[in-house]
Amino acid sequence: MPVKETCMKGGVILRYAILQIIGLFVFVIVLLFVRTWLIAFPLWLFWLLIVLWVAKDVALYPLVWRAYDTGSCREQGSPVGLYGVARDRLDPSGYIEVRGELWKAEILKGADAVEKGQEVRVTGRTGLTLSVEPAGCENEKE
């Protein structure tokens, strides 16, 4: 079963919110300066711009939350044990995708070739090359 990264923990949300509140504060100060000294725009426009600014921050959160993660949700170290999908035929080597990253991979000696689109499990790593086996193999060994 592939590992899915769905970690959006409270610490990440809090870190994101604090930084966005600081940005919102600066935006409000700039709007007040512009409204007072440069262009006298209506109060309803002032509040609309603030609401749009907050809506932008809320809408972008699902796209950028990983950048605010200090490591608690990210993979710590080796990709060994993770699952991926073969991007082309592995016989004996080719490329696989693990957690959205493309890796060079080699199948274990004695294992059958892996076809494109087939799920694989990472069993080791040498430099930037992963050793893999077809996803069903770990059950056969037990």
Tens of pLDDT along 71-130?
A: 655 445 568 888 999 999 988 889 999 888 899 999 988 878 889 999 999 988 888 889
Cα distance between residue 48 and residue 113, in whole Å: 59
HEC secondary structure over 42-66: CHHHHHHHHHHHHHHHHHHHHHHHH
Q: Tens digit of pLDDT for each residue in 49-81?
A: 999 999 999 998 888 877 777 665 544 556 888
pLDDT the model gives residue 76: 55
**Could you tell me the domains of the chain?**
10-68 (no CATH), 83-135 (2.40.50.140)
